[in-house]
Amino acid sequence: MNVIDHVKLVLARMLAVPIANYPRVVRYVLRRHWHAITAPRSIKPINNTMLFEAFSVQNEEELIELFSARKYPQFFFMGEPAKSANYVSQQSPGLLNRILSSCDQAIAHRFDVLGSGLVDLGANIPWRQDFKSGHEWPKMHFTKLSLVDLEAGFDVKVPWEVSRFHHLVTLGQGYALTNDESYASEFVSQIRDWWSDNPYEFGPNWANAMEVSIRSVNWIWAYELMCGASALSNQFLLDFIRSLCQHGRYIMRYLESGWPGSNHYIADLCGLVWLGIYLQPSSESSTWLTFGLSKLSEELMQQVHEDGTSYEASTSYHILVTEMVFWTYAYCKLNDVAVPREVVNRLIGMLNVVSRLLRPDGEIPLFGDCDSGRWISLESDKEALRTCQDARGLLIAGSTLFGRQDWCVASNQPQQDPRRYETALWAFGRKCVSVSDGLPEVNFDSISFPDAGWYIIRGSDNYMVIQAGENGSEGWGIHSHNDTLSFELLIGQRAFIIDPGSYVYTGNYRARNMFRSTAAHNAIQIESHETNRIPSKDMFRMSNDARVKIHEWNSDDCRTWFDAEYVSRASGGKMIYHRRKIEYFHDVAYWMISDSAGYLGSDADEVFKLTMYFHFSDSPVELDGLTATTCFQDGPNLAVLPLYKDVGGNSSAGIDANINTGWVSPRYGVQEKAPILQYYMLSNRQSVMKTILLPFHSRLELDLRCSEVLKSQKGMM
């Protein structure tokens, strides 16, 4: 980015910050500049004298004894990882083979990172390299590094993901299952190699406290799973404690506490809590623990709405934040650490949102960004998860800790899968099985989460979720998309109309902007205007243009209906609007969507072009005139029937349809081809577009249902 573009970007950001938040922004910016000015030119390690003072011991032997013999803090499997591993293996058939296969890949340094596919990284893992592009960051103090170059196309998330060390937890599971010392030796070898290549505060993997927090927690889990291995020498333990102390000091010094608050800051605080417990009785641990819990309480009250939804306008980040807070609370509870009631209440609300968001196929809808981020991943089939996130596994763990059988019921849809229990089994053992015994019958009705603008319509095994929220993160739109009034639709366990996802962030800014555009969602676009203007090179901000109003949300014996609209300031200063009413008729099982859109205050005879988008999953779709149908050989299918009067009042005239090839991205770094159904029409402010979404199982049934539905809608055509 040249100087002029950079100045424009800074000015645009300054103008977008609400005046009330300037003090927080200024403090954070000044602190970052101070850190850059005072950054050390050489590595400043924690020597043995400093380490011994921190733990009030005289020498190495006392520190090793302190850690080896301590009864507190406790860890989840109570010092018996082999016993826990054996129990998990008994409950989840095939777990041993899945874990050992993943361990083999980790030992061979073959990794599938953020959509890379399985890549052999060689004998020496390039910890500071985006191996997809080949770009490598130098071993400089992190404040001196340029992490992003939008034109160069490299992605710092690649080395960050490798350096989160989720794969070391898998090695730990492998050791607990087999007692194979090669797994522990690889654990030690990789960490020592990482220490050598990433000295304290130097290199991209020290660039933000969130990465440091996630790495710390994964190291702790891996170490505890391997405790007792001969490869974990006294010298390694000494260096391991030293490095964790450095991680805690880094987080405390470089907190990501600017405005708007994000999942990064919550990760920082959770990391401090974990290290504050694990490194007791060091002199700093109590400070980290107290500060972390206090600020976590404050930040959750800010970042999580009263209805339990994340304010970042992203279902994927809602899962990530819930996971971070859940495991932090669980670790505190295990060690009798008092957690503020506000944290517990918000966590229960967040888990409840996950239980109601779950689609019939067990996945979550993808509103807003998805970077497939995890705090800790204990399941053996993580590569098979659609988004790489395990919402059902998280819910089962939550149901175990809180005794909520209704969450366990939600997690067992569409069917009980023992792999989804693995996370809870590793952490809670037999308690997980007991909470899932004798599950009650629970019917999940339609429900709304108005603070986030998430509306879920359920009927039998049909599911639709609608996004009707405004820009997330207090209007900044860090992880928001232009998905206002967009939706996802499933019939049974088959997903038909979906959100295409996110794909990438800074590694390809053009693709990023495409995936967060209005056209990339199941919405209507007025001419070429965006719902919210997208700054082309500001990857984590959208103009806060659209204002949403919910007119009605209700149900009766026959139908459930949703009626909302947004008004937005578009490019060129024009005001655009889109009003959408969605009705689900329970007895006949179909949806009717009524849309009106255009320029606010336009003349009755002013004509403008509208484009309506339906993004399908990998469904085969055919177009017959204006009617689109999916073509699965068995199971449910979906027909899309537009009922449209043009500006002259002629039915289904002035409208064109086609099916194009587009892209969907179920997880970060992955994109797959999928069909997009598009309707083009000329409209005016008096026009109403009606579209029927009709499930069917055979062509004969489709003909009969079409006749029945069209007859019922006769007065609307």
Predicted local confidence at residue 186, as pLDDT: 98
HSE-CB at 650 with a 13 A cutoff on CA atoms is: 6
CATH architecture of residue range(s) 262-434: Alpha/alpha barrel (1.50)
With 80 as the cut, is the pLDDT of residue 413 above it?
no
Q: How far is CA 153 from CA 156, 373, 509, 512, in A?
A: 10, 21, 8, 12
Query: For 499-549, what is each residue's pLDDT tens digit?
Result: 999 999 999 999 999 999 999 999 999 999 999 999 989 999 999 999 999
What would the DSSP string read from start to end of 345-375?
Answer: HHHHHHHHHHHHH--TTS-----S------S
Q: Which helix (H) or strand (E) holds 660?
A: strand 655-664
430-457 burial by CB neighbour count: b if 16+ within 10 A, else e? eebeebbeeeeeeebebbbbebbbbbbb
- How would DSSP label each residue in 251-268? HHHS----SS--HHHHHH
Q: Please tell me whether residue 658 adopts helix, strand or coil conformation.
A: strand
For a pLDDT cut of 70, what percent of the chain falls above it?
98
State the residue for tokens 């497939």: 372
**Residue of 570, 549, 550, 543 lying closest to 475 (CA atoms):** 543
Which helix (H) or strand (E) covers residue 486, if one does?
strand 486-491
Which pLDDT band holds residue 717 (cuts at 50, 70, 90)? very low
Report the candidate in 217, 239, 233 with the shortest Cα–Cα distance to residue 184.
233
pLDDT in tens, 271-300: 999 999 999 999 999 999 999 999 999 999
Position 388 pLDDT exceeds 70: yes
Q: Write the secondary structure of 87-141 as one string of H (helix), E (strand) and C (coil).
A: HHHHHCCCHHHHHHHHHHHHHCCEEECCCCCEEECCCCCCCCEECCCCEECCCCE
Predicted pLDDT at 716? 47
CA distance 455 to 448: 4
Token couple for 607 = 């004509």
Give me the pLDDT at residue 712, please.
74
Give the pairing type, strands 608-615 and 590-599.
Answer: unpaired
pLDDT digits (tens, 9 = 90+) for 189-242: 999 999 999 999 999 999 999 999 999 999 999 999 999 899 999 999 999 999
Torsion of CA 318, 322, 325, 331, to 10 degrees: -160
Residue 651, pLDDT score: 56
Render pLDDT for 564-620 as a digit per residue (tens, 0 to 9): 999 999 877 889 999 999 999 998 899 999 999 999 987 777 889 999 999 999 889
Distances in Å between the Cα of 667 and the Cα atoms of 115, 130, 672 are 8, 18, 10
Torsion over CA of 47, 50, 53 and 57, rounded to 10 degrees?
0
Sequence ranges of the domains in the chain = 1-38, 70-254, 262-434, 447-716
**DSSP assignments along 601-648, one per residue:** T--TT--EEEEEEEEBSS--EEEETTEEEE--SSS-EEEEEEEEB-TT
Beta-bridge partner residues of 630: 621
pLDDT of residue 44: 84
pLDDT at 649: 55
Q: Is the domain defined by 70-254 classed in CATH 1.50.10.100?
A: yes
DSSP-derived secondary structure letter, 667: S
pLDDT at 460: 83
pLDDT value at 648 more than 60: no
| Token pair of 369 as six digits | 């960004």
Using alpha carbons, list the distances in angstroms from residue 189 to 105, 174, 201, 298, 665: 15, 16, 21, 40, 35
Per DSSP, the residues of 563-583 read EEEEEEE-GGG-EEEEEEEEE
C-alpha 291/C-alpha 140 separation (Å) is 30
Q: What is the pLDDT of residues 424-472, one digit of tens each?
A: 999 999 888 777 777 777 778 899 999 999 999 999 889 999 999 999 9
Torsion angle in degrees (nearest 10) through CA of 8, 10, 16, 21: -160
What confidence tens digit (pLDDT) does each residue in 136-189 have? 999 999 999 999 999 999 999 999 999 999 999 999 999 999 999 999 999 999
Over residues 416-423, mean pLDDT: 93
Q: What is the CA radius of gyration of the chain?
A: 27
Read off the pLDDT of residues 49-97 as tens digits, 9 standing for 90 and up: 999 999 999 999 999 999 988 889 999 987 789 999 999 999 999 999 9
Q: Do domains 70-254 and 447-716 have the same CATH topology?
A: no
Structure tokens at 633: 């050989």
Quick one: pLDDT at residue 43? Answer: 85
The answer to whether 263 touches 271, Cβ cutoff 8 Å, is no
With residue 435 as reference, give the H or E element that holds it: helix 430-435
- pLDDT for 1: 64
Segment 641-670 mean pLDDT: 82
Least Cα distance to 614 among 628, 625, 599 occurs for 628
**447-716 has which CATH code?**
2.70.98.70
Q: Where are the alpha helices (DSSP H) in 279-404?
A: 285-303, 315-334, 341-357, 391-402
Q: What is the pLDDT of residue 437?
A: 76
Map residue 180 onto helix, strand or coil: coil
Mean pLDDT of all residues belonging to the chain? 93
